Structure 1
């Protein structure tokens, strides 16, 4: 199953840092989300990016995970020539991750 089947996502940016939240549609999927969505798996899934470090923050009361990706935006909005300098499309890329049922 794809992550998008059980969760939605939102991104933000600050300089060269991307912030990605992954939120369960239903709390019945929270345990699966917390188990499957590790920093290591996310970094591996986004291996085409040059990410320096990934931090994961767990928000069980919201059924959400927040990931901070350092060095993910090719220098940041004012320095990058990337088409998606803010990294807003990263949420779509993250939701394509395969997870176990």
Structure 2
């Protein structure tokens, strides 16, 4: 996962470790689940962009940076640690994929 910021908005890129895992990301890393995960930080909206050639998702989360780098006393004004938080989202992995 990798992050970037624009004002009070963060974008987090999530990449499938192997191409076989990309359908699981599409199925389980939904806008609703991501919004639920970040609502405690004030997130108001999530837009998910699918990047199938990269087996990746780009998630844009609004109002999650407590005002952004210039308007917040938050220690993580750029939202770099939010990628780590997103990596804690539980996913259901089929047994057949776990053995690979």
Shared fold, TM over 0.5: yes
Q: Residue 62 of structure 1 is aligned with which of 33, 37, 54?
A: 54
CA-to-aligned-CA distance 1:18-73 (integer Å, 9 cap, x gap): 01111001001011111000010111122321012110001111000001111111
Name the counterpart of 2:83.
91
RMSD of aligned alpha carbons: 0.8
Q: What is the SS of the residue equivalent to 2:4?
A: strand
Q: Which has the higher helix share?
A: 2
2:31 to 8, 30, 39: 39
1:21 corresponds in structure 2 to 13
TM-score (norm 1): 0.88
Which protein is bigger by CA-based radius of gyration? 2
Runs of at least 4 residues of structure 1 off by over 4 A?
none
Aligned residues: 93
1:72 aligns to what? 64
- TM-score norm. by structure 2 comes to 0.89
CA distance in 2, matches of 1:38, 1:54: 9
| Greater relative contact order, per chain length (Cα 8 Å cut-off, separation 6+) | 1
C-alpha separation in 2, matches of 1:80 and 1:73: 8
Structure 2: gaps of 5 or more residues: 94-100
